[in-house]
Chains A and B, each alone.
Chain A
Amino acid sequence: MNLATYARRNMFRRRGRTILTVLAVAVAVLIFATIRTTLAMWNAGVDEAASDRLATRHKISITMLLPKRYMDEVRATPGIAASTWASWFGAKDPLKRTPFFAGFAADHETWFSVMTEMKVEPAVLEEWKRTPNGAILGDILARTLQVKPGDRLVIQSDIFPGDWEFKVVGLYTPLKRTVDRNSMVFRWDYLNNDPRAEFFKDKIGWVMSRIDDPKASARLSREIDKKFDERDDQTITMSERAFSLSFMGAFSALLFVFFVVSIAILLIMTLILANTIAMSVRERTHEYGVLRAVGFKPGHIVGFIVGESVLISIVGGVVGVGLTLLFVNGLMGPAVEGMGMFPAFRAPSSVLLFAFALAAGLGMVAGIIPAIRASSLKVTDALRRID
C-alpha cells in the first residue's frame, strides 16, 4: 500500500456517483474534441497550404475578375516557376444529390502542373486536353453524382444560366488529406467560349503561381502587385496560406462561437467535477480529521483530495478520448467525408492529447478548493463533524 491507494480506493466509494461523474467528464471531452476537430479540420487547408505557391486575385474582392492577359505578366516575373488560373463556376447539382460542391474552370494546359497535390494519370490529362467539355472529378463527387469516366454529366450554376453538359474524362487522386475530393475541374476555355458567359469573356478568377524560393514569397508578391498598380484592375498577391485564410474570414464569427462553446463545455465539466468532489469531501470530513489526528499533514489531505479528483478526470479523459475515436473517427468522420463537407474529418492526435491534458488539469483545479477547505479545518473540528 502507498498514499495513492487511499485516493484510488476513495474513487469507488460511491460507485454510482463516480461512474456518472466519469461519464460527464467523458462526454465533455467528446464534445470538446469534436468541436476542436471541426475547427482543426476547417483550418487544415490553411495549415497544409503549400509554402511555394502564391495566389493573385483582384484587390477589391475574390468575386471580381482579372483580365486573362495578366497571366503573361505574372509568368514573366523573375522567380515565378509556373502559373495557372481558374474561375469560380458556382456549380450545383440539378438533381440535388449533394447540397454543395466546388466547381471551377481551370486552364487545362497548366492546372495540374501547378496544383500538384491533385494527381491525374497522363492518359486522363491527354484526354482532357482533347475534350473541350471534359471534366475531372474528385472520387467522392463522382460517387455522389453516380458518374464514372466516359459518362455524360449535366450540372447547373448559380452564376451562369441553363444546363451545362460535360464529359467525365477521369478522376484526380488527392496526394494530401486536405485536398477536397468533392470538387470538379473543367476547362476554362469551355466556359470562356460559351455565349452564356459573355460577361466573363477573357476574365479569370485567380492566379496560382509556383515560385522557385519560398523565402522570396513576400518580395515576389509585392513585385507582381506593383505591375498592376496603375491599371484599372489592381491585384493583391499573397501566400496560399493567406489566400485560404481570406476565405475563412467569412466564417470567423461561427468559428469563434465554436471556440467559446468548447470552453463553456470545459467549464461545465469542471463545475460538475468540483461538485462531486465537494460532496465527497463533506462526507469524509470526519475521516480526514482522523487522518490528521494520527499524523497526516494538511498537505497529505490536499494530495488525497486533488489526487482523487485528477484520477476521476483522467479516467473520464481516457473514456472521452475512446468515445471520440469511436464517434468522430469511426462514425462521424467517414460520414462527413462521404458527404463531401470536409476533405478529411478525423480527430488529430494533438486535439486528443489536448483534450485529455485539459481534463486532467481541470480535474486538479476542481479538487483544489474542497481540498484546501478540508485541510485547513482544525483537527478537533473535523473530528466533531459527522455527516
Chain B
Amino acid sequence: MDAKTDAKTGSKANAESIVSLTAVNKTFHRGKEPIQVLDRLDLEVPSGSFEALMGPSGSGKSTLLNLIAGLDRPTSGTVRVAGADVGRMTDGQLAEWRSQTIGFVFQSFNLIPVLTAAQNVELPLLLTSLGGAERKKRVAIALRVVGLEDRMHHFPRQLSGGQEQRVAIARAIVNDPKIIVADEPTGDLDRKSADDVLNLLERLNKEFDKTIFMVTHDPAAAERATVQRKLDKGALV
C-alpha cells in the first residue's frame, strides 16, 4: 500500500471496504502444469477510493482486476465486492451483478464500431427495465459528464482515441455503478488525451464518489490515484 495514504486508507479499509479479498489464490493450468498467478492475496479497497495497481507483465494485475470485476472466480479464498461474494455466484447472477455494480474501461476502448457513441453508451441500459425516453436521458447525462454531448451521433471511427475512451467511460458510468475498473485506460492514448481521461476519472472519483480501481503501467497515471499498489509474482508488495 502506498505510504502517503497508509494511515488514512488503512483506517477507512477497516471501516467500509467495498472490495475485500481474503487469502485469494488463483491458479491457471498450461497443459498439466499449474501456474500460480495470485498467492494468498489479501486486499481491502475502501469505498470511494481511487486506487492504481502497478506491476510488471505477468505479475497478476489483470487477473486481480478480473476477480474484482466478477469476470473470473478465485481458485480459493474469498472475493467480496460491494457486499457480494463473487466466487459463489452463478454466471447468470454474475452477469446481472456486473451490469449493476461494475463499470468497465478497457485499454483499447472496445466500443462497438457499428453503433454510434450514444448507442454504445446505451448498451448496458438495454439490460434494465428503463424505457426508451429514460435511457436517452441517462445517455445524454453520461455523455455530458465526459464532455461529448455533441458527439453522440458519431460512430467510433469518427472520434479520436481520447474521445473514444471518454465514450467508453460514459458507457461505464451510465448505469451508475459503485465501482469503475479500468485496465490500462491510457495505454493507447497520447499524453494530452491520457491527461483528459485521468482528469475525468479523478472527477468521477471526487465529484461522483465512484470507487476506481485502475491497472496501469504508466507512473504518471498512477500518480493521479489516491492509493498506489504494486503487485509482483502474485503478491502485493
Q: A residues near B, CB below 8 A? A: 1-3, 5-6, 9-10, 12-13, 286-287, 290-298, 378-380, 383
29 residue pairs bridging A and B, Cβ less than 8 Å apart: A1-B115, A1-B126, A3-B126, A5-B115, A6-B112, A9-B115, A10-B114, A13-B113, A13-B114, A287-B112, A290-B106, A292-B95, A293-B71, A294-B98, A294-B99, A295-B95, A295-B96, A295-B98, A296-B95, A296-B99, A296-B127, A297-B95, A297-B96, A298-B91, A379-B71, A380-B71, A380-B72, A383-B71, A383-B106
Chain B min CB distance to A287 (Å) = 6
Q: Chain B residues with Cβ under 8 A from A291's Cβ?
A: 123
A6 touches B114 (CB 8 A): yes
Complex Cα distance A182/B70, Å? 76
Scan B116-129; emit 1 where CB is below 8 A from any A CB, else 0: 00010011101100
Chain B min CB distance to A18 (Å) = 12
Size bin of chain B's contact surface: 20 to 34
**Which of A1, A378, A379 neighbours the largest number of chain B CB atoms within 10 Å of its CB?**
A1
Complex Cα distance A177/B119, Å? 55
Q: Chain A residues with Cβ under 8 A from B92's Cβ?
A: 297
Q: Chain B residues with Cβ under 8 A from A3's Cβ?
A: 126
Q: Chain B residues with Cβ under 8 A from A5's Cβ?
A: 115, 119
Q: Which of A6, A293, A378 contacts B98 (CB 8 A)?
A: A293
Closest B residue, CB atoms, query A293: B104
Complex Cα distance A292/B113, Å? 17
Closest B residue, CB atoms, query A379: B71
Scan B48-59; emit 1 where CB is below 8 A from any A CB, else 0: 000000000000
A380 touches B114 (CB 8 A): no
Q: Is B110's beta carbon under 8 Å from chain A? A: yes
Q: Is B142's beta carbon under 8 Å from chain A? A: no
Q: Is B66's beta carbon under 8 Å from chain A? A: yes
Closest B residue, CB atoms, query A382: B71
Complex Cα distance A31/B99, Å? 47
Q: Chain A residues with Cβ under 8 A from B122's Cβ?
A: 1
A295 touches B71 (CB 8 A): no
Q: Is B69's beta carbon under 8 Å from chain A? A: yes
Q: Is B61's beta carbon under 8 Å from chain A? A: no
Q: Chain A residues with Cβ under 8 A from B114's Cβ?
A: 6, 9-10, 12-13
